[in-house]
Every structure is written in C-alpha cells, then in structure tokens.
Amino acid sequence: MSEKKIRYSVPSKERARNLKQYAKMTDEEFDEAWSSKIVGFGATVLFNSRIDAKLDEFAIDYDVTDLKINDKLTLRALAQSFITLEDLEAFSFELRKDGIAETDLLKLEKLNNMMSIIRKDISLMQNDLKITRKIRKGEDEETVISFIDKLKNSAKEFYEKRMFYVWCDKCSMLLFTGWFLYPDDSRNKVQLVCNRKLDDGKLCNNKVQVTSKYLLDNRGVNKKDIPEFFK
C-alpha cells in the first residue's frame, strides 16, 4: 500500500500508573493488570501487522491507490476476513492432523460453518470492490474488444476517406475502388469497361474514363446519384 502505515508504540507503564482506574490498586494488582494489558496490546499490534501485510499483497495484484474511504474500509475488512479464514483453517488442520476424534466432530462442524460464512463474505466484498479475477478478466476482455472495434472503425473511416469510387454512369455498377498517390494531378486517370450482365442477357459494355483530379474535386466519386452507403 502506498499510504503510510500506522505505528504502534508501547504505552508507558509509569504514566498508566497515575491513571484513575489504577490509582487505588496495589503494586501487585497493577502489575497483574498491566501484564494483561501488554499481552492484549501485543496481540493487537500483531493482528494489525498481519492486516498491513495482507493489504500489501492486494496492492501487488490490484490497483488500490485510488479507493474512496468506504472502499478502503471494505478492503481492510476483506483483509481481516482472509486472516480469520487462514487462522480457522490452521486450527481445523490441527484438529485433524492426528485423526478425527469423536469429541472433535462438533468443533469441526462449527469450524466448517464459520469458514463457509467467511468465504461468502469474502466473495461479496470482492464483488463490491470489483477485484475478483473473473471480473478483472472480463473488464480486460471488454477493453480489448472495444479497442479492436475502435481500430476497425478507424480503419474503415480512413479507407473511405482515402479511397475513390467509380461507377458505371449507365447502369450504376461499382467498377473501381482505389487511391492515388498524387490525386490532384489531372494526368492521372482510369479507363474502365462495364461487363455487367443486364436483364436482357447482354453486357453493358459502357466505357468510363475519369481523372483522379475530377474524383478529388467531387468527394471521391464520379456520380452524384450513388448508393446511400457511400454518401
């Protein structure tokens, strides 16, 4: 995680001795209470360190730099759930490693139920954050498809802008598509013969000659009454 981690400092025993809740205690009672507090504090520090480590693992695989406050809280809860699941799985393994005793069956059943609930919670939080691999893969695939479609559209637009179209001015048959390196030079010209078979069985045989300059000046076409697709 890019954010600064919280530092946990050990509380001062001398300062704590002057607090109201400890004022009436004997030194022995205070030492016992203080020992319990330190043990609890140590457990808290260790647990928070495990959460920080889990958040660092998430940061390796996913972009977590631009999360809103509610997403950050969900991500932290997700880390805690993973840690709890790991601890329960470790405990379950300890119960089963030497064989399952009849007295352990009830414990294992409760453990399995708890782990099942935690796994469902993890799945829900992953969906809320959209960091499941399935969702990320789907988004990547959608992005690739969109990119390819964009390339196709760009290529089509480029093709249509650069290409010239020549129709038979007698039967409107499309005879030629192409482009010229120097379209503004009137010496460039194409001459075509239409071999379209007409309804009476005869060939059109119409001859069409047009210069590249004429096509350039007329938006790339030699006919005004062209199909809608080419307008």
The model carries a pTM of 0.42
The C-alpha atoms of residue 223 and residue 227 are separated, in whole angstroms, by 10
Residue 213 belongs to some domain of the structure: yes
Task: Express each pLDDT in 76-99 by its tens digit.
Answer: 888 888 888 888 888 888 777 767
Residues of the chain with pLDDT under 50: 1-4, 6-10, 38-43, 228-231
Parent domain of 167: 163-223
Q: Please report the pLDDT score of residue 89 as a whole number.
A: 85
The C-alpha atoms of residue 131 and residue 137 are separated, in whole angstroms, by 10
Strand partners of residue 177: 165
The C-alpha atoms of residue 130 and residue 123 are separated, in whole angstroms, by 10
Residue 133 belongs to some domain of the structure: yes
Contacts 24+ apart (CB under 8 A), 69-73: 71/128, 71/129
Q: Please report the pLDDT score of residue 47 as a whole number.
A: 67
Residue 110 belongs to some domain of the structure: yes
Task: Express each pLDDT in 15-29 by its tens digit.
Answer: 665 666 756 777 777
Q: Are residues 40 and 113 in the same domain?
A: yes
Q: How many domains does the chain have?
A: 2
Q: Please report the pLDDT score of residue 206 as a whole number.
A: 93
Fill in the amino acid letter for 144.
V
Q: Please report the pLDDT score of residue 231 as a whole number.
A: 44
How much of the chain is in helix, strand and coil states, percent to nearest 5?
60, 10, 30
Domain C-terminal end among 103, 138, 173? 138
